[in-house]
């Protein structure tokens, strides 16, 4: 199902090599020219064969009529015209590809410049205003943390009223400019701290995101987690996983929209489909849901903010451990072919599983996930969809995976931001719409694991008290 605005929106598809960024129209035009080149080449080859069979000497030998000589001349001219046309089609197709690469390079350079500028400004702010940083650290940050904790323990009625107000006033949170600012801000937090403690700028450039990457998003989030741990927040716990439902005769998905539709929606957070493949090991599809608990204190559901932040800090998140346990129970071994699909936190966990090298990952499909800084191997086929006015992907920092196919789309261009959610651009139903749009407009086919029906299993993970 595709709404009217989905039909009119533009997809920006990038990656899939060194770098290539283009709109849907550019992709279609290049593809049509390549098809035209193939058709003209076939025609040219057929005419060339005919020309070899019948030439002027043969016509003289059989005393052919003048019309035969005219036809033979027309045949030669047609072959020359078709040859020029096919070469021109190939040249234009290559030019379109070059334009896409140039556009992509310009976008990449602009992103790097923006990140570098944000880092320098953050460093300068910390360096030139040490008094401000000293004031902020002991006062504002604990106050912000206290406000978050207060929200977490707030009674249901006032919390519901506050969330209702945020939904009614969500335009700012759904602004692409704000989203991009947040992306740069999370990448520059370490530079601000470096400036405040007077680390030399060349040292910060060396060890920061623009250099060796020793400091960056993961270290900044790690500091936030340690601050939360002091008041009992953001603390990881053991997890247990139980199978809740099993169903047979499940067909392998044929589109990315179908993969998005199979993400768990109820209390289960994990779905694993197993398919028997003739003459090969069983293949698996792993589907991971998005965040379900937005509290800062770990309670029962490990798909919470504790797992979110622990994952961004590259730590041992409860949701990650839960998926590993479910995969073991489902029979997934090191050499088992696996395709991962995830939305939001599910996409973050899926990308970390693919990046771990512990599994035979055959494909990765993420939607609205904060995965910009997760280093997935270049040989893993990765489709990453994100809405440019979705704040959640921005929390993963600047995109640093040039080999992935990155699909971007801005929602609500021609209308008001819906008030059905605080972050409407992050809603799974809207990512399903974009997945359907990608299926219809792209040349990337969704991986089909097996032609035979498989077995689908749902798993529910829960946190356990720390003994």
What pLDDT digit, counting tens, does each position of 127-172 carry?
556 555 455 545 444 555 555 555 555 555 555 555 566 667 778 8
pTM confidence score: 0.73
Total number of domains in the chain: 3
Whole-angstrom distance, CA of residue 246 vs CA of residue 254: 21
With 90 as the cut, is the pLDDT of residue 283 above it? yes
Q: Are 144 and 102 in a shared domain?
A: no
Q: Under 8 Å CB-to-CB from 286, ≥6 apart: which residues?
A: 270, 271, 272, 323, 327, 332, 338, 339, 340, 341, 350, 353
Please report whether residue 329 resides in a domain.
yes
Q: Are 374 and 249 in a shared domain?
A: yes
Least confidently predicted of 66-70, 147-151, 449-453: 147-151
At 363, list the tokens: 């494909």
At 251, list the tokens: 């067909």
With 90 as the cut, is the pLDDT of residue 267 above it? yes
Predicted pLDDT of residue 393: 94
In terms of pLDDT, which residue wins out, 449 or 332?
332
Q: Are 405 and 374 in a shared domain?
A: yes
The residue-averaged pLDDT of 391-401 equals 89
Q: Are 222 and 148 in a shared domain?
A: yes
The residue-averaged pLDDT of 95-114 equals 60
Q: Are 156 and 53 in a shared domain?
A: no
With 50 as the cut, is the pLDDT of residue 242 above it? yes
Report pLDDT digits (tens) over 431-441: 999 999 888 87
Backbone phi and psi for residue 268, each to the nearest 5 degrees, phi listed first: -70, 145
Residue length of the chain: 467
Q: Are 265 and 201 in a shared domain?
A: no
Q: Are 194 and 172 in a shared domain?
A: yes
β-sheet bridge partners, residue 340: 286, 364
Query: Which residue is associated with the tokens 């991962």?
Result: 340
With 80 as the cut, is the pLDDT of residue 50 above it? no
Whole-angstrom distance, CA of residue 131 vs CA of residue 250: 62
Question: Which range of residues forms the domain containing residue 181?
Answer: 111-229
CB-CB contact of 256 with 446 (8 Å): yes
Predicted pLDDT of residue 4: 41
**CA neighbor of 425 nearest in space, from 397, 392, 383:** 392
Please report whether residue 327 resides in a domain.
yes
At 28, the pLDDT band (50, 70, 90 cuts) reads low
Alpha-carbon separation of residue 150 from 147, 291, 297, 328 (angstroms): 5, 20, 11, 38
Predicted pLDDT of residue 153: 52
Q: Are 356 and 407 in a shared domain?
A: yes
Cβ-based burial of 277 (10 A; exposed 0-12, middle 13-18, buried ≥19): middle
């Amino acid at each position: 199902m595709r709404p009217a605005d989905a039909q009119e929106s533009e997809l920006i598809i990038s990656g899939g090599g060194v770098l290539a960024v283009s709109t849907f129209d550019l992709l279609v035009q290049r593809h049509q020219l390549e098809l035209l080149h193939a058709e003209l080449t076939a025609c040219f080859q057929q005419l060339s064969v005919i020309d070899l069979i019948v030439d002027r000497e043969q016509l003289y030998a059989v005393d052919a009529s003048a019309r035969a000589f005219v036809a033979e001349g027309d045949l030669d001219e047609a072959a020359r015209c078709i040859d020029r046309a096919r070469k021109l089609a190939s040249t234009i197709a290559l030019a379109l590809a070059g334009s896409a690469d140039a556009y992509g390079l310009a976008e990449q350079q602009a992103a790097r410049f923006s990140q570098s500028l944000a880092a320098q400004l953050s460093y300068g702010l910390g360096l030139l205003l040490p008094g401000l940083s000293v004031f902020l650290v002991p006062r504002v940050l604990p106050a912000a943390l206290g406000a978050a904790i207060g929200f977490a323990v707030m009674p249901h009625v006032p919390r519901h009223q506050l969330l209702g107000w945020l939904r009614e006033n969500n335009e700012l949170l759904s602004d692409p400019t704000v989203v991009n600012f947040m992306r740069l801000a999370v990448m520059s937090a370490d530079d601000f701290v470096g400036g405040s403690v007077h680390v030399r700028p060349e040292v910060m450039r060396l060890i920061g995101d623009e250099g060796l990457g020793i400091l960056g998003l993961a270290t900044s989030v790690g500091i936030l987690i340690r601050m939360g741990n002091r008041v009992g927040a953001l603390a990881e716990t053991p997890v247990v996983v139980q199978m809740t439902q099993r169903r047979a005769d499940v067909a392998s998905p044929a589109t990315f929209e179908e993969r998005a539709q199979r993400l768990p929606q109820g209390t289960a957070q994990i779905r694993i489909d197993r398919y028997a493949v003739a003459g090969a090991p069983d293949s698996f599809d792993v589907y991971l849901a998005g965040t379900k608990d937005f509290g800062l204190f770990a309670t029962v559901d490990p798909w919470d903010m504790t797992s979110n932040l622990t994952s961004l800090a590259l730590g041992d998140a409860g949701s990650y451990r839960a998926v590993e346990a479910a995969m073991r129970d489902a029979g997934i071994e090191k050499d088992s072919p696996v395709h991962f699909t995830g939305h939001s936190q599910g996409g973050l966990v899926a990308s970390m599983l693919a990046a771990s090298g512990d599994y035979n990952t055959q494909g990765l499909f993420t939607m609205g996930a904060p995965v910009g800084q997760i280093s997935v191997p270049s040989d893993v086929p990765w489709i990453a969809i994100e809405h440019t006015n979705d704040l959640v992907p921005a929390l993963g920092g600047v995109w640093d995976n040039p080999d992935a196919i990155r699909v971007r789309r801005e929602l609500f261009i021609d209308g008001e931001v819906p008030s059905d959610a605080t972050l409407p651009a992050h809603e799974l139903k809207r990512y399903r719409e974009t997945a359907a749009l990608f299926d219809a407009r792209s040349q990337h086919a969704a991986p089909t694991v097996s032609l035979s029906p498989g077995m689908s299993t749902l798993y529910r993970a829960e946190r356990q008290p720390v003994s």
